Every structure is written in structure tokens, then in C-alpha cells.
């Protein structure tokens, strides 16, 4: 984790980084789902307990999320359990999402697929902008689990593949790489280049990169 409960004097925040350079407010809902996560799986799943698995991230990068679903014959999500090595925001985002997709009898897979990171953020009462990628991580794991259900059920026509396209053939940077950079806090072409090396040695792609930065900033942050 990259934060702890310790206010910076005069900062007004309630959570700080270890180096005390950043301070953020977290809503009571975020804190509740961090300190008392719902539907967390603290054991290995039993045989037949779930019929779908979604995964994103890598423990080597600090964020890995697994989502297990049990989907009934009407394609409604009756159970969603999860496990993550992510930060408190990732824990809270996944916890609230597991409640959202199973409450009131459960969402259908198509309803769950339409759920957006912004919907998760709204139920949490917001997250700091630098932590928005945590709700995206959860959203992607859920959609990966939905695809896995359809794969196991031989309903291949319902699988939605998230494609990416190469923006810079030299550095092999894709639009997905640029999206991730923006979600992780990059806001300018220089910041995105620092994270991805896009356009280094190939400046002709920079106008397309700038357009994508504007698109993702608008999509996720308004």
C-alpha cells in the first residue's frame, strides 16, 4: 500500500503518502469498504463454487486483482468474490462493485458489462483523481470474468474483446498504453512520454497522442 492513516498538519487531508508529500480526502464509504471489505475471498475457491474468473494486473507491478463470479441460468450474478494485492482504493472499489452487481437479486451479465468506473466512483462518494485507475482496474477484472463465463458456456458470440491499436510503431506503444498513463496521472504529452516513450525518435505520431490524451482526460475526468 502507498498510504497510511495520518493527517498532514494543515493539509486538511485524512490520508497521506509515506513521504508526506500528498494528502487526500477519502469518503466514509471508501473507508468502510477498505477497513471492512465485502465479499473478499480469504481462501482458495472450492470446486464448483464459481463459474467465472477474471484477472487483471500483476503482483510484480503492485496491483493484481482476481474476481470470481457465480452466474445462474438466467445469466444473473449471484456471487462475486475477489482478492487483490492493490491499494486501499482498489480494495474499496472492488468491494463496492461486488455489492453493486449482486444486490437486488443480482445484475445480469449485460447490465454488469454496462457498469462504468464512474458508477463505482459515485457509489464510493468519489476517489482522488490519482486513484481513479483503481476503479478502472476493478471494472476491467469484472468484464474479464464476464468474458470467461461466456467462454466456458461456449457462447463465444457474446465475448467482447477489448482491442488496442499501435500508435507508435517504433516504440510499440498502443492507445491502451496511453490510456493507462492518463489514468495513472499523466496529463501532458511530456508526462505521457516519460511513462511510455511514445514519439521518442518518431515525433510524427505526437499529434495523434495529444488527441488521445484529450480524449481520455475528457472520458475519465470531464
Please name the residues in contact with 212: beta carbons below 8 A apart, sequence gap of 6 or more.
167, 175, 178, 179
How high is the pLDDT of residue 11? 37
Domain-located, residue 4: no
Q: Are residues 48 and 153 in the same domain?
A: yes
Question: Which of 28, 36, 61, 190 is flagged as catalytic?
Answer: 61
How high is the pLDDT of residue 6? 37
11 to each of 30, 79, 128, how far by Cα in Å? Answer: 20, 40, 15
Out of 128, 158, 188, pick the residue that ends a domain. 158
Domain-located, residue 203: yes
Tell me, rounded to whole angstroms, the distance of Cα 207 from its chain centroid: 27
How high is the pLDDT of residue 8? 32
Q: Are residues 40 and 147 in the same domain?
A: yes
Q: Are residues 185 and 214 in the same domain?
A: yes
Could you confirm whether 61 is annotated as catalytic? yes
Residue 114 has pLDDT above 60, yes or no: yes
C-alpha cell at 116: 462504468
Q: Are residues 34 and 116 in the same domain?
A: yes
Neighbour order of strands in the sheet with 15-17 = 3-4, 15-17, 23-24
Domain-located, residue 5: no
Tell me what the mean pLDDT of segment 29-56 comes to.
95
Residue 53: give the domain boundaries.
30-158
Tell me what the mean pLDDT of segment 127-143 comes to.
83
Domain-located, residue 22: no
How high is the pLDDT of residue 26? 84
Which of the pair, 110 or 5, is modelled with greater confidence? 110
How high is the pLDDT of residue 86? 78
Mean pLDDT, the chain, rounded, equals 85
Q: Are residues 200 and 123 in the same domain?
A: no
Most confident of the ranges 4-8, 86-90, 102-106: 102-106
Q: What angle do CA 173, 179, 182 make, to 5 degrees?
A: 115
Tell me, rounded to whole angstroms, the distance of Cα 49 from its chain centroid: 24
Q: Are residues 130 and 188 in the same domain?
A: no
List residues bridging with 40 in a β-sheet.
82
Q: Are residues 149 and 190 in the same domain?
A: no
Q: Are residues 154 and 170 in the same domain?
A: no
How high is the pLDDT of residue 106? 98
Could you confirm whether 134 is annotated as catalytic? yes
Out of 133, 158, 183, pick the residue that ends a domain. 158
Are 198 and 205 spatial neighbours (Cβ–Cβ below 8 Å)? yes
Tell me what the mean pLDDT of segment 30-58 comes to.
93
Are 137 and 86 spatial neighbours (Cβ–Cβ below 8 Å)? yes
Q: Are residues 79 and 175 in the same domain?
A: no
How many domains are contained in the chain?
A: 2
Q: What angle do CA 59, 1, 14 make, to 5 degrees?
A: 155
Question: Which of 52, 100, 134, 141 is flagged as catalytic?
Answer: 134
Residue 101 has pLDDT above 80, yes or no: yes
Are 107 and 100 spatial neighbours (Cβ–Cβ below 8 Å)? yes
The span from the CA of 213 to the CA of 221, in Å, is 11
How high is the pLDDT of residue 63? 65
Tell me what the mean pLDDT of segment 143-154 comes to.
96
41 to each of 36, 44, 53, 100, 211, how far by Cα in Å? Answer: 13, 8, 13, 17, 41
Amino acid at each position: 500500500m502507498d498510504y497510511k492513516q495520518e493527517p498532514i498538519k494543515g493539509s486538511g487531508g485524512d490520508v497521506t503518502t509515506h513521504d508526506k508529500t500528498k494528502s487526500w480526502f477519502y469518503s466514509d464509504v471508501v473507508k468502510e469498504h477498505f477497513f471492512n471489505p465485502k465479499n473478499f475471498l480469504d481462501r482458495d475457491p472450492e470446486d464448483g463454487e464459481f463459474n467465472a474468473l477474471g484477472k487483471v494486473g500483476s503482483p510484480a507491478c503492485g496491483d493484481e486483482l482476481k474476481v470470481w463470479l457465480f452466474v445462474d441460468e438466467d445469466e444473473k450474478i449471484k456471487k462475486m468474490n475477489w482478492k487483490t494485492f492493490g491499494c486501499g482504493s482498489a480494495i474499496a472499489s472492488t468491494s463496492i462493485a461486488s455489492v453493486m452487481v449482486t444486490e437486488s437479486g443480482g445484475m445480469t451479465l449485460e447490465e454488469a458489462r454496462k457498469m462504468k468506473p464512474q458508477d463505482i466512483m459515485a457509489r464510493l462518494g468519489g476517489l482522488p483523481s490519482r486513484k481513479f485507475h483503481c476503479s478502472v482496474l476493478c471494472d476491467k477484472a469484472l468484464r474479464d470474468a464476464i468474458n470467461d463465463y461466456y467462454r466456458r458456456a461456449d457462447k463465444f458470440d457474446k465475448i467482447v474483446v477489448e482491442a488496442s491499436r499501435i500508435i507508435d510503431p517504433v516504440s510499440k506503444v498502443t492507445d491502451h498504453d496511453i490510456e493507462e498513463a492518463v489514468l495513472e496521472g499523466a496529463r501532458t504529452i511530456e508526462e505521457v512520454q516519460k511513462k511510455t516513450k511514445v514519439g521518442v525518435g518518431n515525433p510524427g505520431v505526437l499529434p495523434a497522442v495529444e488527441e488521445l490524451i484529450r480524449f481520455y482526460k475528457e472520458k475519465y475526468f470531464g
